[in-house]
Amino acid sequence: MLSSMFEEARGVKVPTPFERLTWHDAMDRFGSDKPERRVGMEMVDLSEELKDCEFRVFSGTIASGGVVKAINAKGFAGISVGQIDKLTKLAQEAGAKGLAYIQARDTDRTTWRSPFVKRMSDDEIEALRTKLNIEPGDLILFAADKWEPACDVLGRIRLEVANLQKLLEGNDDLDFLWVTEFPLLAFDEEEGRYVAVHHPFTRPLKEDEEKLRNGELDGLRAQAYDVVLNGYELGGGSIRIHESDLQSSMFKALGITEEEANTEFAHILDAFKFGAPPHGGIALGLDRVVMLACKEDSIREVIAFPKNNKGAEIMTSSPGTATANALRDLRIKSTYVEKPKAE
């Protein structure tokens, strides 16, 4: 369906079936669960090569169970101080303490500009050259943290570098793919318990069902999937649980008691008793689909009544002031007191 829509709108052939990429691979290589693959700059893991590095930001992170990852922004060693500051701020906003980088101005390491390169051995430098294909003029950017935060930070940096280098200017290629095997559960540090990444009815992979039943909750994968185009999520969905015993195991993993489950989800649990069939689906963001089909950069261009940056819709003056009768019907009392107008 999607291929035919874009073939009709763009007048190009869209190959099918779409390539599949697991969530783990998407994060590990591109730092995003909706990867923009047209810009290249795949992330490289350097944890093994830098585990004994004198630069403690790297070796200390690895020793504590983290990773060091890097990207090579080809030909961007001439990046300005202002641009470095912008990337550093972006990394910090994403949770990093800073941004490590190397400007490889020429072949000899003595020409490389970096706050830490002097503290790296020749073997470590050669490992970087080999794994990152470093050539004169390249800019190397690093992230050091636990695996997922490191991927996320470097993924954001990667997209901003592509923007600074204008790598996608004039690129009309269509890169469709499926992202599959999302995490089933995530551990909430504040609440001290597991929560559902999608919803509590998402089915685990067949290989992980027994682990869920046994209470082995770390690393469980879901039968959940997104369809992605050029770094945008077009839609997402999942296969749902249709057996009462597996659903009970899911509720138990989430800390939902049997009494709470019977109170909140009785209609679903009762349906299972009648032999609910396997079921699932996908929901598309049609405004996003239309935006990309029309080669627009914002969904405002394809929405009939778009809101402005203040959240107001100009054509219908929405949202408007609620009348006293409307509030009364909803049994809502407003405590807002209108300020007197200055004379």
Q: How far is CA 84 from CA 52, 190, 280, in A?
A: 27, 34, 45
Q: Which residues contact 132 (CB under 8 A, 6 or more apart)?
A: 44, 70, 71, 72, 138, 140
| 251 vs 324 pLDDT, higher one | 251
Q: Which residues contact 276 (CB under 8 A, 6 or more apart)?
A: 242
Which of 82-96, 139-153, 208-222, 274-288 is the least confident region?
A: 274-288
Q: Which amino acid is at 338?
A: E
For 66, the domain range is 39-164
Q: Answer yes or no: are the C-beta atoms of 183 and 197 closer than 8 Å.
A: yes
Could you report the per-residue pLDDT of 10-36, keeping only the tens digit for each? Answer: 999 999 999 999 999 999 999 999 999
Whether pLDDT at 341 is above 80: no
- For residue 59, give the H/E element and its range: helix 56-63
In a domain, 280, yes or no: no
In a domain, 332, yes or no: no
Whether pLDDT at 342 is above 90: no
Give mean pLDDT, residues 189-201. Answer: 93
What is the per-residue DSSP string for 120-152?
Answer: S-HHHHHHHHHHHT--TTEEEEEEEESHHHHHH
Nearest to 6 by CA among 290, 215, 270: 290
Separation CA 282–CA 234 (nearest Å): 10
Nearest to 118 by CA among 133, 142, 129, 102: 102
In a domain, 304, yes or no: no
Angle between helices 286-293 and 2-10 (to 10 degrees): 30
In a domain, 292, yes or no: no
Whether pLDDT at 270 is above 90: no
Between the two ends of the chain, the Cα-to-Cα distance in Å is 62
pLDDT at 72: 98
Give mean pLDDT, residues 147-163. Answer: 97
In a domain, 119, yes or no: yes
Q: Is 84 left (phi over 0), alpha (psi -120 to 50) or beta?
A: alpha
- For residue 27, give the H/E element and its range: helix 23-30
In a domain, 266, yes or no: no
Give mean pLDDT, residues 264-286. Answer: 89
In a domain, 118, yes or no: yes
| 126 vs 301 pLDDT, higher one | 126
Give mean pLDDT, residues 38-54. Answer: 96
pLDDT at 314: 81
In a domain, 46, yes or no: yes
- For residue 103, give the H/E element and its range: strand 100-104
Report the CATH number at residue 137.
3.30.1360.30
Q: Which token pair is 2?
A: 């999607």
Separation CA 144–CA 152 (nearest Å): 11
pLDDT at 11: 93
Separation CA 8–CA 199 (nearest Å): 35
Strands 19-22 and 176-180: parallel
Whether pLDDT at 205 is above 80: yes
Whether pLDDT at 343 is above 70: no
**pTM of the model as a whole:** 0.88
Per the structure, the count of domains in the chain is 1
